[in-house]
Amino acid sequence: MAEIIQEEKAGGKKKAKKHAPHIDMTPMVDLMCLLITFFMLTTAFSKAKIMEINLPEKLKDKSIDPPKIVASRTLNIVLGPDNKLYYYPGTVKPEDYNNLPPLQPTDYSANGIRTILLERNRALFKKIDDFKTQVTAGKLVMSQDSVQKSISKLKTDDDTGPIVLIKAYKKATYGNFVDILDEMNICGIARYTFVDIAFYENTMVEHAAGIASTAPAASPAKK
Amino acid sequence: MPKIKLPTKSPHIDMTPMVDLFSVVLTFLMLTTTMRQPEPAPVDTPTSISEKPTPDFNTMTLLLSKDDKVYLNFDNGPDTLLAFRPKILAEMGKRYNIEFTEAELAEFKKYPSSIGVPILKMKDFLDTRDNKVRTAMESGIPIDSTDNQLADWIFCTRTVNPNVQACIKGDAKTGFEVVKKVLDIMADKNVFKFNLITTLEAAKINLADIQK
């Protein structure tokens, strides 16, 4: 006390008390940490994406025949149990019910179904790919919308690629379904649809899968 | 020997740059992310190459969980004044002769998650505030042919909001039987166009693949 008084007397000038230049930021840091953690846990970075699919309309009038498709261009893909995948070309006629064509096993990988689809869809895929290369190279300048339009025009005009019929055995999963539709988009298949599985295809799947491992799965549907 | 005295440092560290950094991160997170909606069942969506974002409104989302339960969610429309959700519930109540009070309709309007409650339990579900009781009631929307409430929900939704788009959000492990059933119910109600909700995964193929 005495010293201060002395100082004042000596200095003469009244000095304002200096504040410490540092504010303690620790509580603010704590708060920020909490907020960041909260935001990281409750929010999602990317919005979910959607994949569009159109299913064939159900024919309520039995007198109208469903549209006919060429057997030589038809490719049947059957989603089997336990992530198995089978395919067979063409159609099965009623006289062949006792002599069913064998299912070819394949898988969802890039070397499986994708190679098969690309091989059959080579012409169209090449056209689409050429078109996309031209757009990315800047030779064709157009908006994103017209790019999409041109690609779908290429797809509608195509008459050589396969007509893919996708069928699902009851033990397949939703993931299999999305995977195969995704594969259609990757390979640029122009015509594909999802149809109900026929009874003989059930037998074919059970026959094909039964050999491998799932014999019990085959028995109930045979009744 | 005299000891060497190290100058004692102040115990305070300057936190200002840390605060600066955190502010930047926080602002970034707030601007780039969207709130995640709570879901009644954890769903692990399959992946696809599709880059189309989910529409913000005019959707009805069917949630198919791993244990084959079906949940349904729809939005209030492009403007909250339209309040589609309470209208749909009121419409649904009419079909099942259930009178919903104003408070129940208001509660339904702001309920953020998908619903998986049979319509007969809906009144109790909206009246209670206890989340445990609510979770216990969620047994999924009945889709049997004898008690097909999903079909009624879809019909009411499409009556109230004709522009609605159907979205399906399923777990990759959901059995196909339930998916098929749902697709059939939708087809009966003349819905043939679906948006399957997926997560993005890039897939690249080049021409060399098909030439071999």
Q: H-type helices in A138-198, by residue range?
A: 144-157, 174-187
Beta strands in A18-62 (DSSP E): 43-44, 49-54
**Averaged over A48-62, what is the pLDDT?**
79
Asked if the interface predicted TM-score (ipTM) of this complex is over 0.85, the answer is no
Last residue of a domain, one of A160, A190, A213: A160
Domain that holds residue B52: 47-200
Amino acid residing at A52: E
Residues A168 and A203 in one domain: yes
Identify the CATH number of the domain in which residue A92 sits.
3.30.420
> A-chain residues within 8 Å CB-CB of B192?
54-57
Convert the pLDDT of each residue in B131-180 to its tens digit. 888 888 888 888 888 888 889 999 999 988 888 889 999 998 888 888 88
Q: Residue B86 is encoded by which pair of tokens?
A: 């309470």
Put simply, the answer to whether A48 touches B26 (Cβ < 8 Å) is no
Chosen domain end from A106, A137, A160: A160
Across the interface, whether the CB atoms of A51 and B193 are under 8 A apart is answered: no
**Do the chains contact at A174 and B53, CB–CB below 8 Å?**
no
Contacts of A84 (CB under 8 A, 6+ apart): A105, A107, A208, A209, A212
Q: Are residues A107 and A194 in the same domain?
A: yes
Residue numbers in B near A169 (CB within 8 A): 176
* Helix A113-120 / helix A174-187 crossing angle, nearest 10 deg: 40
Residue A189 and residue A155 share a domain: no
pLDDT bracket for residue A222 (50, 70, 90): very low
Say which range, A50-54, A125-129, A180-184, B37-41, has the weakest mean pLDDT. Answer: B37-41
Distance from the first to the final alpha carbon of chain A: 106
The pLDDT of residue A34 is above 90: yes
List of chain B residues whose C-beta atoms are within 8 Å of the C-beta of residue A21: none
A-chain residues near B26 (CB < 8 A): 32, 35-36, 39
What does the alpha-carbon distance between residue A147 and residue B189 come to, in Å, rounded to a whole number? 34
Q: Could you tell me if A50 lies within 8 Å of chain B, comparing CB atoms? A: yes
- Whether B173 is in a domain gets the answer yes
Q: Is B165 helix (H, G, I), strand (E, B) or coil?
A: strand
Please write down the long-range contacts of B129-135, taking CB distance under 8 Å and 24 or more positions apart: B135/B40
| Statement to judge: residues A213 and A128 lie in one domain | no
Locate the chain B residue with the closest alpha carbon to A119.
Answer: B210
pLDDT tens digits in sequence order for chain B, 212 residues long: 677 777 777 677 778 888 899 999 999 988 888 777 778 888 888 888 888 888 888 888 899 988 888 999 888 888 878 888 888 899 888 888 888 888 888 888 888 888 888 888 888 888 888 888 888 888 888 888 888 888 999 999 998 888 888 999 999 888 888 888 888 888 888 888 888 988 888 776 665 555 55
Given a cut of 90, is residue A83 above it in pLDDT? no
A20, part of any domain: no
Domain-located, residue A169: yes
Domain co-membership, A104 together with A170: yes
Which domain, by its residues, includes A208? Answer: 71-120+162-222
Nearest to B168 by CA among A159, A10, A55, A162: A55
Among B19, B50, B209, whose Cβ lies nearest the Cβ of A49?
Answer: B50
A77 and A156 share one domain: no
pLDDT digits (tens, 9 = 90+) for A125-167: 888 888 888 888 888 788 878 888 888 888 888 778 888 889 8
Domain count, chain A: 2
